[in-house]
């Protein structure tokens, strides 16, 4: 959804006045409650995104599409934290070899060396990445480069399909630059299952973080997102150490 200039600047002003510690950059996507959907109450709440370490030139809306320009490297985070949920998101890279992703259960506190936070990253790499990043002259298997799941920063996970500490997709279903990909991400009690373009192909379990922020990543390349929807599920058993510190 595209914000008018007056609304955009009003939101930015409100979140920089005394008493506020956050700056809201934009609204994009919606959140729904599962039980309300079952009851036929299709109430949707707009998702508001707060800057962590990007800039007001990194992101802009184009109709219903959110465009991430990729620089500076960093993230924006959701205004609230989430525990158990289903996420639907569509994305496409506009440059060959582009790199980006979405963090879930994230602390939204960037590491000094990477500018990226701790959380579980749902990788979004364009297919030509393997050709541009050969290792010892060898091209990595293409299934590795899209839809990887892994604990970033201080977060630890157990991979379903190990590639070291990361979990790779067992089947390549990703489309290349300029084409839309659809992810369904199911996050419940430390377990994540990922569907790529209509089929579940990856997962992790026993995440050390199980409630936190969502983060959209800028990592050097232009990426576009659309139709982001969160369906919040019932809470499960959770220990204090599984919850990130609130911001």
pLDDT value of residue 137: 82
Predicted confidence at residue 233, as pLDDT, reads 98
State in Å, rounded, how far the first CA of the chain is from the last one.
25
Q: How far apart are CA 44 and CA 51, in angstroms?
A: 22
Average the pLDDT over 220-233 and give the result: 97
Q: Which residues contact 198 (CB under 8 A, 6 or more apart)?
A: 173, 182
Q: CB neighbours (10 Å) of residue 112?
A: 5
- Residues ≥6 apart with Cβ < 8 Å to 137: none
Of the candidates 243, 232, 244, 236, the one whose C-alpha atom is nearest the C-alpha of residue 85 is 232
In 84-180, the DSSP E strands lie at 85-93, 99-106, 119-125, 149-152, 158-159, 162-163, 166-167
Task: Taking residues 208-217, report their average pLDDT.
Answer: 98
Q: What letters, b where the CB count within 10 A reaches 16 and e where it falls short, cover 220-237? A: bbbbbbbebbbbbbeeee
R_g (Cα) of the chain, nearest Å: 17
Q: What is the structure's pLDDT at 130? A: 84
CA dist 210 and 104 (Å) reads 9
CA distance 210 to 190: 5
Question: What confidence score (pLDDT) does residue 133 get?
Answer: 81
Query: Mind listing the pLDDT tens digit for each residue in 83-141?
Result: 999 999 999 999 999 999 999 999 999 999 999 999 999 999 999 988 888 888 887 76
- Domains of the chain as residue ranges with CATH: 5-242 (2.60.120.560)
Question: CA-based angle 26:148:229, to the nearest 5?
Answer: 35
Q: Which of 11, 20, 87 has its CA nearest to residue 48?
A: 11
Q: Tell me, what's the pLDDT at 142?
A: 63
pTM of the predicted protein model = 0.89
């Amino acid at each position: 959804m595209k914000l008018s200039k007056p609304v955009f600047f009003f939101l930015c002003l409100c979140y920089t006045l005394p008493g506020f510690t956050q700056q809201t950059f934009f609204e994009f996507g919606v959140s729904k409650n599962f039980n309300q959907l079952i009851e036929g109450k299709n109430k949707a709440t707009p998702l508001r995104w707060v800057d962590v370490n990007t800039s007001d030139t990194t992101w802009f809306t184009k109709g219903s599409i959110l465009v991430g320009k990729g620089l500076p490297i960093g993230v924006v985070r959701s205004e609230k934290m989430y525990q158990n949920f289903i996420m639907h998101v569509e994305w496409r890279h506009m440059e060959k070899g582009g790199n980006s992703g979405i963090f879930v259960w994230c602390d939204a506190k960037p590491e000094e060396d990477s500018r990226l936070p701790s959380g579980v990253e749902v990788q979004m790499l364009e297919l030509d990445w393997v050709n541009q990043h050969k290792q010892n002259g060898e091209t990595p298997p293409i299934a590795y480069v899209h839809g990887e799941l892994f604990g970033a920063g201080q977060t630890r996970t157990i991979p379903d399909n190990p590639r070291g500490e990361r979990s790779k997709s067992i089947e390549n279903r990703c489309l290349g630059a300029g084409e839309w990909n659809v992810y369904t991400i199911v996050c419940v009690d430390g377990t994540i299952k990922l569907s790529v373009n209509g089929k579940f192909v990856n997962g992790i379990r026993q995440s050390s973080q199980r409630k936190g922020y969502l983060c959209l990543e800028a990592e050097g390349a232009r990426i576009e997102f659309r139709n982001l929807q969160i369906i919040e599920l019932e809470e499960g058993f959770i220990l204090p150490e599984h919850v990130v510190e609130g911001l």
